[in-house]
A and B are shown apart, each in its own frame.
Chain A
């Protein structure tokens, strides 16, 4: 599949934003490390909202006819893309109420504040899951049609969100070790799942072939002529292929920048961790995740390629 930068940025940015917000609420509710200060809660919350909004805005650039984008909320009964939009929009009022009441800090509204926060956490989870299912539900792309995909989106969103939360936590007086532990735990799970995913896609198992695509199942089938002189929409959108060497190199980058270097940096600096260093680690990890998302698209092979001569997908 053709990797569109707007979609890559959208999934990484809004994933991190939703992950950050959900963890922020959990940290707040459990008074993690003594509890974040009001200012910290607000700053983290606003970073989350900015990331989510930037992501949603970027996803608009992917549309060829954005003036009809408002209609995308109408098919939430069947379409995961529509569901994602609806849940993301429903998330905003709860998140704003939660942050607003946090800002006001009035004791009599505490229950309402926690309720709104809890709802925004749930909606954040559902939204990331929906983003994953946009890809996971497609039967046409074997590399996406697996529960590993939404799980991957959830874990990576929370991992990057946790890193950002750690940065915020470091600016105050809270005990940061519990925040650090959350980052490390999510990092390990996310990396393990990503590794499982890469092993899983490497072994195709039973797949559609050029034979089932054409119906000539008893002989070898070879494309003689695709029937077009130059590329078509189909070759542009689905014909993208990444060289094996390049993919391997990028995978190494995903694991080193996304997981290994952050792990070593965070472990090594356990006592002396400063928020400046964590920012560098977070930028590193986000670059890793962008590479991860790029590969997620580049390595996906749509079955339509079978009609253009691919022997299997």
Chain B
């Protein structure tokens, strides 16, 4: 098994719900707590497994805002595991999930240096490294209804921009989507072979902003109405 996430960049609306749900679930999960520093103070900061960034791609008027969630990619060739001197970082043979054993970590930060995706964050309170667990304590929990045995981020995403599954199974939903929509990995040149894949933004016609031609009857009517109605 090779469990991981697919993130549909065409669909993500950038609401940060996944990050919040992640924090909520994992605050009491296997690597808990997820410490906040000055949560109500002047410089709020803290540990998150999942962060959403926002980019502008292309130049105006053919530009697009793309919301970009990132968490641990559960890489196949995860240097974060090889460099760890204590053995706290490990990759599970049975499902490919990369985890940090909180009882072994000495907080040297070395694994975070080795991770190109910024997926690991040191918890200053516990002195140990924290990272996405793919909600390992949730996806295998038999007390949870079958359809909810998914990572918290996937469960909560209101836009359904996230998908969770087994990439080793060519018939799984994640494999099919990646195959059909040209899913890709980030920073492929570094050779980490991340499991998580991103679905590109679909091609959309640019919305014209110049040389719009003469307005039609409908536009004229709208313009007339706009002029006489006081707002």
Contact = CB atoms under 8 A, between A and B. Distances in A.
Interface string A28-60: 000000000000000000000000000000000
Contacts of A74: 85-87
- 8 cross-chain pairs, A with B, having the tightest CB-CB distances, nearest first: A64-B107, A65-B127, A64-B127, A82-B85, A65-B107, A68-B106, A71-B86, A304-B118
Contact of A75 (B53, B59, B68, B87): B87
Contact of B121 (A66, A75, A234, A306): A234
Interface string A285-313: 00000000000000000111011100000
A81 B121 contact: no
Given A74-B87, A81-B83, A231-B45, A303 B116 contact: yes
A230 B85 contact: no
A245 interface: no
Nearest to B19: A227
A140 B127 CA distance: 23
Interface stretch (A99-107, A176-184, A218-226): A218-226
B198 interface: yes
Interface of B: 16, 43-48, 51-59, 65-66, 68, 70, 79, 81-88, 103-110, 112-118, 121-122, 124, 126-128, 184-192, 198, 200
Contacts of B187: 208, 212-213, 303, 306
B178 to A, nearest CB: 13
A64 B121 contact: no
Nearest to A134: B110
Which range contains the number of A residues in contact with the other chain? 35 or more
Contact of A229 (B44, B47, B118): B44
A223 B55 contact: yes
7 contacts: A63-B127, A72-B108, A79-B83, A79-B110, A215-B185, A223-B54, A302-B113
A174 interface: no
B108 A304 contact: no
A115 B184 CA distance: 56
A226 B56 CA distance: 12
A78 B82 contact: yes
Contact of B58 (A62, A65, A82, A219): A219
Nearest to A72: B85
B59 A81 contact: no
**Centre residue among A220, A224, A308 by max chain B CB count within 10 A:** A224
Contacts of A232: 45-46, 48, 51, 121
B83 A78 contact: yes
Given A64-B107, A64-B109, A212-B187, 5 more contacts: A63-B106, A66-B107, A216-B66, A224-B56, A229-B44
B118 A231 contact: no
B47 A233 contact: yes
Interface string A130-154: 0000100111110000000000000
B186 A233 contact: no
Given A224-B65, A229-B44, A71 B55 contact: no
A7 to B, nearest CB: 10
B53 A64 contact: no
B186 A214 contact: yes
Given A72-B86, A233-B121, A223 B116 contact: no
A219 B62 CA distance: 10
A228 interface: yes
Given A62-B108, A137-B83, A227-B16, A221 B56 contact: yes
A140 B86 contact: no
A159 interface: no
A138 B122 CA distance: 19
B163 to A, nearest CB: 17
A79 B81 CA distance: 9
